[in-house]
Amino acid sequence: MDNSIREILIKNILTPTEVGLDKDTLNTLQLLRREKVYHPVITISSNTSSKIMGVDEVKKQIGNYVRERNIKVDLIEVGSLGLSSLETMVSVQLPGKTRVFFKHVNPENIILILDSIFNNFIRDEFVYGQLRDKNYEPWEQVPFLDEIAYFNYQQRLILNQCGFIDVNSIDEFIAFGGYQTFVKTINNNTPAEVCDIVEQSMLRGRGGEGYLTGKKWKIAASTAGHQKYLICNAGESDPGAFMERHLMESDPHKIVEAMAISAYAIGAHKAFIYIESDYELAIQRINQAIEQATAYGLLGHDIMGTGYTLEIIIKQGAGAYVCGEETALINSMEGNRGKPHSKPPYPAVKGLFDQPTVVNNVETLVNVPVILKKGADWYRSIGTEESKGTKVFSISGKVECAGLVEVEMGTKIRDIIFRIAGGIRNNNRFKAVHVGGPSGGCLTEEHLDTLIDFESIMMVGASLGSASLVVLDEDNCIIDTVKFFMNYLQKESCGICIPCREGTRRMYEILDNISKRPKDDDGYTTLQRFKGVMQLETLAEVLKDTSMCGLGQRAANPVLSTLKWFRDEYEEHIFERNCNAGVCQELRTFEIDVDACTGCTICARKCPTGAIFGTPKNAHFIVQDKCIGCGICYETCKFSAIISK
């Protein structure tokens, strides 16, 4: 590492002023911020999504390309802009020109892209947009990123650097103002002052409960203990949420800085970050960030001569959804089964190794440097009356453009789905959006104008929780989706309290029952099925009232919210034994179109239950009593003679 750069940067952290900087310092900073570019800069988005899409091969191709042609370029790895359906993304910046982003880059088209841009023209089919920058001349005919709907409606306070900044370089992070807030805070503010500022900002925990972060910190800070601990909960483990993973991969230093400030505020000298062990890239990036920061003297013993000591340790989770709950998380870190216990005592009073412990999730913590930098008053001006700041969502499912979005609290859900994410794929009809993962709820068309804040979302039966938005369209069955969540929850229930352990299992069975064809069709079975649904509602209410931790209490949310808003679909499944979307396989019925059937006998041979009869070269027919609705005949028929009903 170049020591002179390091000294310049550290000097800049201590006295962050642009005025009166000597020429060398200014030059170094400008180079790092890419305000001066002498040779082409190529950035590759390197994250879990793009790794799976084959970014390594693209990188190799770029390396070969510039070597063969003897072009000197800066090839850097960045995280992701958040557009996970457009990966792999590559950007190229030529000296004097703005940075241009290309989408869906693969090893084949990268050569075409580079060929064209080095010859000063841009191929429309691959380009995504260009970054607005007053220092550089823009490309013609290329849209600016801030004009594209995806970015236009977002307000990026914490994702601002994702996809732009070099993930492997602490220098670049510092040049953009990183760690300044931390160093300034530990030099000028007492821990109590920091807690005050955060409390005034009305920052609320993004984990789901929405508890005031400042208040929680004060409890931990004022409780006596040998040691105090900060735990950053980055164990997402919700199927369908990826913002914490994304933040860790795209801007690891931001999380390290946020943890450092928060640990200082509660007086902790040890901070842990709990990451799922299958988030390999995230672990690697955070680890690297911690090492770099320690080498710069920003972590470790006696930070910047202030006497404050802090160590950040990565703890790898072993995969359990319930460990998102703070007491379960602490149990898991102590080397026990990840079982929650009843509160109080709250972890802020008696947590890890029985010491006062603050558990916050990644998103909550990264808001802290922003608040300290710009002030509590400024932060309070963003958002709604009760919920301040922004909220990050991962949106996926049947939308045009899946990815990560950050919007101001108080934005309508409709805007996120139809403006930012580009609406429903293939012009299908919107059916529902599931908010908040397995413990969240489904919202319908009429709730799309709900504002995003803790209270409004709670009112309509969902929770902000993990803040994943999964969009369903007309081809999705609500029963099937709820069944999926129930199956997930009954597997993940830790089993310590009975309502959750038994309740989730029974709810899954009831749902499974109504998405299946009854074995014999008399009045009794129908009555049983109907009674099941009646019980489903009672069971869900009991679960909500009597479970010990958040997992059980919220496990009923998907059932209760869909029973409320999609009752007709439940009734259709029970009374008419029909799944309109055609997802519940056993409820499908098939018929053979006599005119189209050529009697090739393939379907009869493939049918697992022998429900298809007929003689060769004559039209076949299906015996409905034997049919299990598996659809194999439908898939194998070459003449489209089988009709699904």
Partner 1 sequence: MREVEKILDQYPFVQRDNLIPILQEIQKKFGYISEEAIVMVGSYLKMPTSKIYGLATFYNQFRFSPQGQFHIKICNGTSCHVNANPLILKEVESILGIKDGEKTKDNRFSLETTTCMGVCGMGPVMAVNDRYYTQLTVTEVNKIIKNYQQSEE
Length of the chain: 645
The yes or no reply on residue 472 touching partner 1 (CB under 8 A) is: yes
The yes or no reply on residue 332 touching partner 1 (CB under 8 A) is: yes
The yes or no reply on residue 186 touching partner 1 (CB under 8 A) is: no
- Cβ–Cβ < 8 Å for 319, 277: yes
Coil, helix or strand at residue 543: helix
- Cβ–Cβ < 8 Å for 387, 121: no
The yes or no reply on residue 46 touching partner 1 (CB under 8 A) is: no
CB of 471 to partner 1, least distance (A): 8
The yes or no reply on residue 334 touching partner 1 (CB under 8 A) is: yes
Residue 147 burial class via C-beta count within 10 angstroms: exposed 0-12, middle 13-18, buried 19 and up: exposed
Q: Which is nearer to partner 1, 34 or 246 (CB)?
A: 246
CB of 314 to partner 1, least distance (A): 10
Residues contacting 498, CB < 8 A, separation 6+: none
The yes or no reply on residue 474 touching partner 1 (CB under 8 A) is: no
The yes or no reply on residue 557 touching partner 1 (CB under 8 A) is: no
DSSP 377-388: HHHHTSB-SSSB
Q: How far apart are CA 510 and CA 531, in angstroms?
A: 10
CB of 84 to partner 1, least distance (A): 4
The yes or no reply on residue 369 touching partner 1 (CB under 8 A) is: no
From residue 600 to residue 639, the character string flagging contacts with partner 1 as x (rule: CB under 8 A) and all else as - is -----------------------------------x----
Residues contacting 522, CB < 8 A, separation 6+: none
Determine the longest span between alpha carbons in the chain, in angstroms.
Answer: 94
> For 16, phi and psi rounded to 5 degrees?
-75, 85
Judged by CB under 8 A, which of 41, 62, 87, 410 binds partner 1?
Answer: 87
The yes or no reply on residue 360 touching partner 1 (CB under 8 A) is: no
Residues contacting 484, CB < 8 A, separation 6+: none
Q: Which is nearer to partner 1, 279 or 454 (CB)?
A: 279
Judged by CB under 8 A, which of 151, 484, 530, 621 binds partner 1?
Answer: 484
The yes or no reply on residue 456 touching partner 1 (CB under 8 A) is: no
CA 131 from chain centre, in angstroms, equals 24
> Beta partners for 444?
432
Q: How far apart are CA 403 and CA 393, in angstroms?
A: 8
Scan for tokens 């929405």, then name that residue: 210
Coil, helix or strand at residue 529: helix
Judged by CB under 8 A, which of 8, 221, 479, 494 binds partner 1?
Answer: 494
The yes or no reply on residue 396 touching partner 1 (CB under 8 A) is: yes
With CB under 8 A as the contact rule, which of the stretches 23-31, 166-174, 185-193, 430-438 interacts with partner 1? 430-438
**Which helix (H) or strand (E) covers residue 109, if one does?**
helix 109-118
Q: Which is nearer to partner 1, 485 or 565 (CB)?
A: 485
Q: Which amino acid is at 602?
A: I
> Beta partners for 451?
412
CB of 318 to partner 1, least distance (A): 4
- Cβ–Cβ < 8 Å for 222, 449: no
Scan for tokens 């910047």, then name that residue: 304
* Per-residue DSSP letter, 346: P
Q: Which is nearer to partner 1, 337 or 617 (CB)?
A: 337
Q: Which of 250, 279, 260 shows the shortest CA–CA distance to 365?
A: 260
With CB under 8 A as the contact rule, which of the stretches 183-191, 210-218, 366-374, 390-398 interacts with partner 1? 390-398
Total residues at the site for partner 1 (CB under 8 A)? 51
Judged by CB under 8 A, which of 476, 490, 553, 557 binds partner 1?
Answer: 476
CB of 13 to partner 1, least distance (A): 33
Coil, helix or strand at residue 313: strand
User: Alpha helix locations (H) across 493-625?
Assistant: 498-514, 523-546, 550-555, 557-565, 567-571, 602-606
The yes or no reply on residue 437 touching partner 1 (CB under 8 A) is: yes
Judged by CB under 8 A, which of 216, 245, 577, 588 binds partner 1?
Answer: 245
Q: Which is nearer to partner 1, 126 or 182 (CB)?
A: 126
Q: Which is nearer to partner 1, 48 or 562 (CB)?
A: 48
Q: SS3 sequence, 165-200?
A: CECCCHHHHHHCCCCHHHHHHHHHCCHHHHHHHHHH
The yes or no reply on residue 252 touching partner 1 (CB under 8 A) is: no
The yes or no reply on residue 84 touching partner 1 (CB under 8 A) is: yes
Q: How far apart are CA 552 and CA 534, in angstroms?
A: 20
> Is the Cα torsion angle 542, 547, 552, 554 positive or negative in sign?
positive
CB of 437 to partner 1, least distance (A): 7
The yes or no reply on residue 56 touching partner 1 (CB under 8 A) is: no
Scan for tokens 């009305």, then name that residue: 202
The yes or no reply on residue 394 touching partner 1 (CB under 8 A) is: yes
Q: Which of 166, 350, 181 shows the shortest CA–CA distance to 258?
A: 181
Q: Which is nearer to partner 1, 113 or 477 (CB)?
A: 477
The yes or no reply on residue 237 touching partner 1 (CB under 8 A) is: yes
Q: Which of 472, 468, 469, 452 shows the shortest CA–CA distance to 460?
A: 452
CB of 100 to partner 1, least distance (A): 21
Direct distance between the N- and C-terminal alpha carbons of the chain, in angstroms, rounded to an integer? 67
With CB under 8 A as the contact rule, which of the stretches 64-72, 174-182, 313-321, 613-621 interacts with partner 1? 313-321
The yes or no reply on residue 481 touching partner 1 (CB under 8 A) is: yes
Q: Which is nearer to partner 1, 20 or 335 (CB)?
A: 335
Q: Which is nearer to partner 1, 209 or 475 (CB)?
A: 475
The yes or no reply on residue 135 touching partner 1 (CB under 8 A) is: no
The yes or no reply on residue 232 touching partner 1 (CB under 8 A) is: no
Judged by CB under 8 A, which of 242, 508, 565, 566 binds partner 1?
Answer: 242
CB of 476 to partner 1, least distance (A): 5
With CB under 8 A as the contact rule, which of the stretches 106-114, 341-349, 385-393, 394-402 interacts with partner 1? 394-402
Q: Which is nearer to partner 1, 128 or 179 (CB)?
A: 128
**Which helix (H) or strand (E) covers residue 431, if one does?**
strand 430-435
Query: Within 10 A of 115 (CB to CB), how many other CB atoms are there?
Result: 13
* Both structure tokens of 15: 């006295």
Q: Which amino acid is at 55?
A: V
CB of 179 to partner 1, least distance (A): 28
Judged by CB under 8 A, which of 152, 190, 277, 640 binds partner 1?
Answer: 277
CB of 280 to partner 1, least distance (A): 11
* Both structure tokens of 205: 């925990």
CB of 484 to partner 1, least distance (A): 5
Residues binding partner 1 (CB under 8 A): 48-49, 52-53, 83-87, 237-242, 245, 277-279, 316, 318-321, 332-338, 394, 396-398, 401-403, 434, 437-438, 468, 470, 472, 476, 481, 484-485, 488, 494, 635
